Amino acid sequence: MEPFLRALPKVELHLHIEGSLEPELMFALAERNGVALPYASVKEAKAAYDFDDLQGFLDLYYQGMSVLLHERDFFDLAMDYFRRASAEGVVHIDMHFDPQAHLQRGVALDIVMRGLLAAKEEAERSLDLSVGMIMAFLRDRPAEEALEVLELAKPYWQRLDAIGLDSAERDHPPTKFVALFARAKEIGLARVAHAGEEGPAAYISQALDDLDVCRIDHGVRCLEDEALIARLREQQTVLTVCPLSNVALKVVDDLRQHPLPRLLDEGLNITISSDDPAYFGGGLLTNHLACAEAFGWDEKVFEQLNRNALAEAFMDDARRAILLQRIDKV
Ligand SMILES: Nc1ncnc2[nH]cnc12
Ligand SMILES: [Zn+2]
């Protein structure tokens, strides 16, 4: 199965670029920028990646980013993941990034955008890897701040594909961000949101009703609401499910207990992604391999998951057609 999964052109719809920061690069950037880290070694950092829940992870995720200060750091961060992903057969990535997490530390939006856009261009030129840009907003920060940041990003609106909603889900319902998502729609941006990862199924319904999103990031808790399952099946709304993330953050105890097989049996439009590969045990190929082992899926299942992702990815239709042929030919 490994040679097949490696060769299969894979499409990743849910990836936080700051969550792709491997400890090795974190240490290199800390040294380059004179930033102190709370770990003595790469080994110690990896040992700290043992999470009880989403908040436990987010605390280290925001701390890890402290080494990202200059345009070149954002470029190196993204290229480090793009090179690894491309070598594993990933052909497209819709990339979330968190401007508020950098603005809060005094890192200007221009620095983040220039570094990430340069990496996108370099990947598209030299790796045959296309990249979608999802500017994500932190749901545990004030809604007014999110609106201000979206306006601050005006010079970059043309370069964005979508806005997203991430960070601590509990007690931060989608309804808090109705004005932000209405503004993004007015600007002409697509909209996606994390929902039903740790939060209840009702947050998935809210994201669909009140934020008018085209896909749901995670969404695994939809299984708690029969009417919602029927709706997601009927609308064929894409769910970007992140199997190893759900294990690492204890959304499920063990991958074999993961609801992915049931989500597929329900006829939902499922895709798989890595979320934060540096923190959760690996990238998109590793997630594919883990699912093959846990669920015994055959090649057809993996082809379909990637066709689902390709159909929804933020890319132009000419490239989509080429990549579809490549999936069909494997
Ligand atoms: N899995 C996740 N859930 C919510 N916010 C995130 N930010 C980075 N990874 C996240
Ligand atoms: Zn995520």
pLDDT mean values, one per 10 residues, the chain (330 residues): 98 99 98 97 97 97 98 99 98 99 98 99 98 99 98 98 98 98 98 98 98 98 98 98 98 98 98 98 98 98 98 98 97
Q: Is 2 a catalytic residue?
A: no
Ligand 1 atom 6, closest CA? 167
CA-wise closest residue to 115 among 131, 138, 92, 137: 131
CA-wise closest residue to 60 among 205, 249, 193: 249
pLDDT digits (tens, 9 = 90+) for 104-134: 999 999 999 999 999 999 999 999 999 999 9
- Cβ atoms of 224 and 201 within 8 Å: the answer is yes
Please tell me the predicted confidence (pLDDT) of residue 252.
97
Between CA 285 and CA 1 the distance in angstroms is: 11
Between CA 159 and CA 140 the distance in angstroms is: 26
Ligand 1 atom nearest the C-alpha of 249 is: 1
Q: Which residue of 58, 221, 242, 247 sits with most ligand 1 atoms within 8 Å of its CB, as the best mutation to test the pocket? A: 58
Residue 59 annotated as lining a ligand binding site: no
Ligand 1 atom nearest the C-alpha of 136 is: 7
Give φ, ψ of 56 to 5 degrees: -60, -40
Which residues share a beta bridge with 165? 137
Starting from the CA of residue 216, give the closest ligand: 2
Task: State the pairing for strand pair 215-218/130-138.
Answer: unpaired
- Cβ atoms of 226 and 252 within 8 Å: the answer is no
Between CA 149 and CA 194 the distance in angstroms is: 19
pLDDT digits (tens, 9 = 90+) for 228-262: 999 999 999 999 999 999 999 999 999 999 999 99
Please tell me the predicted confidence (pLDDT) of residue 245.
98
Between CA 246 and CA 211 the distance in angstroms is: 24
Please tell me the predicted confidence (pLDDT) of residue 172.
98
Please tell me the predicted confidence (pLDDT) of residue 204.
98
Ligand 1 atom nearest the C-alpha of 198 is: 3
Residue 218 annotated as lining a ligand binding site: no
Please tell me the predicted confidence (pLDDT) of residue 21.
98
The Cβ of residue 231 has, within 10 Å, a number of other Cβ atoms equal to: 15
Q: Which residues line ligand 1 (CB under 6 A)?
A: 16, 19, 54, 61, 166-167, 194, 197, 245, 275-276
Between CA 143 and CA 215 the distance in angstroms is: 21
Amino acid (one-letter) located at 226: E
pTM: 0.98
The alpha carbons of the chain give a radius of gyration, in whole angstroms, of 18
Please tell me the predicted confidence (pLDDT) of residue 210.
98
Domain residue ranges of the chain, discontinuous segments joined by +: 2-329
Please tell me the predicted confidence (pLDDT) of residue 281.
97
Helix (H, G, I), strand (E, B) or coil at 273: coil
| Strand extents, DSSP E, 64-179 | 90-97, 130-138, 162-166
Amino acid (one-letter) located at 232: L
Catalytic pick among 197, 198, 224, 299? 197
Token pair, residue 121, equals: 């261009």
Ligand 2 center from residue 329 Cα (angstroms) = 31
| Strand extents, DSSP E, 25-176 | 90-97, 130-138, 162-166
Q: Domain 2-329: which topology?
A: TIM Barrel (3.20.20)
